[in-house]
Amino acid sequence: NRQILLASRPKGAPTDDDFRLVESAKPEPKEDEILLKTIYLSLDPYMRGRMNDAKSYADPVELDQVMVGGTVSQVEASNNDKFAVGDWVLSQNGWQDYSVSDGKDVMPLGKNPSNPSYALGIMGMPGFTGYMGLLDIGQPKKDETVVVAAATGPVGATVGQIAKIKGCKAIGVAGGEEKCRFAVETLGFDACIDHKADDFAEQLAKACSDGIDVYYENVGGKVFDAVLPLLNTKARIPLCGLVSQYNATELPSGPDRMGMLMGTLLVKRIKMQGFIIFDDYGDRYPEFAQDMGQWLKEGKIHYREQMVEGLDKAPQAFMGMLEGKNFGKLVVKVNEP
């Protein structure tokens, strides 16, 4: 049983030394338990937060323990009559080959799901996040302008495509020309601006000629700086993530702009609300699954995955994601089905 452990807590961006690959014996399922073999491991930005020893909405990973993570697995042995060998489940095995479960914390995916890894992306946590944040907090109305960064990632791509389904103008922000082209040509964004461009703020202002009604916040930093002056009166900001800050060790230098931010929120009566998907919306998953299942069937939603082969590649892939090296939902294929 290969396992990737948290070897040390990163200072700033994680490095190879913060992870350690070890081999241990395959766990044995006891009475009523199942043995799960990891097929797909999801890599997500929130994992960076779990590497810190800081109080948050979830506990940190302990040093020398297996890195946490959502997984799609197959039942390899079963002492539980609710599960048969070969069944697929959505589970939380973490960064390892095998895990045992009593079956209570897993979601069955059936005997032969057509796209099992989608349960980690468009039909799972990131898709659900984009859906609830945009629709419940963002409240987009027809012809409004919706802006989202990390536009080709699983959350941002979902937000942009749902915004289009709801009749909005969708403006993406992404890193690099190739991602921006994909956002427009394949995902159907009206425009996508490269945040690495020198004149990024000017380009964004030009694309948002009627201002911004919904800014779905995934990244923070200089993208938010460019968005702030463009926000319309009564704009909504679902505060989903701040990935540009996850590796930061101190506040950015420069003048304190808190007063300006608060002043804008006040004068323009802007609503900004943070949310943690399963804590705040766990009971609304069926509603999402129904809509998203339908949209996928109708070809209204396009989904891009980046599949990395091999558990040993997980640390590099994860570190790359925090710098925008991924293109689409990052998934590790840990074992063959």
Q: Read off the tokens for 324.
A: 């925008």
Taking the complex as a whole, the smallest distance from the CB of residue 174 to ligand NDP amounts, in Å, to 4
Tell me the three state secondary structure of residue 12.
Answer: coil
Q: Which of residues 219-278 bind ligand NDP (CB under 6 A)?
A: 219, 221, 223, 240-241, 243-244, 275-277
Closest CA to 38 of 59, 9, 66, 64: 66
Task: Give yes or no for a contact between 117 and 331, defined as CB atoms under 8 angstroms apart.
Answer: yes
Number of residues that bind ligand NDP (CB under 6 A): 32
Determine if residue 261 is left, alpha or beta; phi over 0 gives left, psi from -120 to 50 gives alpha, anything else beta.
alpha
3-state secondary structure of 191: strand
Closer of 27 and 320 to ligand NDP (Cβ): 320
> For ligand NDP, what does the binding mask look like between residues 54 and 73, x meaning CB under 6 A?
--------------------
How many Cα atoms within 13 Å fall on the side-chain side of residue 210? 12
Q: Does 324 bind ligand NDP (CB under 6 A)?
A: yes
Binding mask 16-55 for ligand NDP (x = CB under 6 A): ----------------------------xxx---------
Q: Does 321 bind ligand NDP (CB under 6 A)?
A: yes
Q: Closest separation between CB of residue 87 and ligand NDP, Å?
A: 26
CA distance 104 to 106: 6
C-alpha neighbours within 13 Å on the C-beta side of residue 187: 35
* Distance of alpha carbon 171 from alpha carbon 162, whole angstroms: 12
In the complex with ligand NDP, which residue's Cβ is closer, 254 or 259? 254
CA distance 303 to 155: 11
Q: Rounded to 5 degrees, what angle do the CA atoms 41, 248, 311 make?
A: 20
Residue 179 interacts with ligand NDP (CB under 6 A): yes or no: yes
By CB under 6 A, tell whether 138 contacts ligand NDP.
no
Q: Is 175 in the site for ligand NDP (CB under 6 A)?
A: yes
Between CA 95 and CA 112 the distance in angstroms is 24
* Helices (H), ranges, 38-176: 46-50, 125-132, 154-165
Q: How far is the CB of 322 from ligand NDP (least distance, A)?
A: 6
89 belongs to the binding site for ligand NDP (CB under 6 A): no
Residues in 93-132 that interact with ligand NDP by CB under 6 A: 125-126, 129
Dist. CA 3–CA 22, nearest whole Å: 5
Segment contacting ligand NDP (CB under 6 A): 79-87, 139-147, 290-298, 320-328?
320-328
**Interface with ligand NDP, residue 195, by CB under 6 A:** yes
Residue 174 binds ligand NDP, judged by CB under 6 A: yes
DSSP three-state, residue 232 = strand
Sole binder of ligand NDP in the list 150, 207, 311, 331 (CB under 6 A) = 150
* Residue among 18 and 305 whose Cβ is closer to ligand NDP: 305
Interface ranges with ligand NDP (CB under 6 A): 44-46, 125-126, 129, 149-150, 152-156, 174-175, 179, 195, 218-219, 221, 223, 240-241, 243-244, 275-277, 321, 324, 326, 330
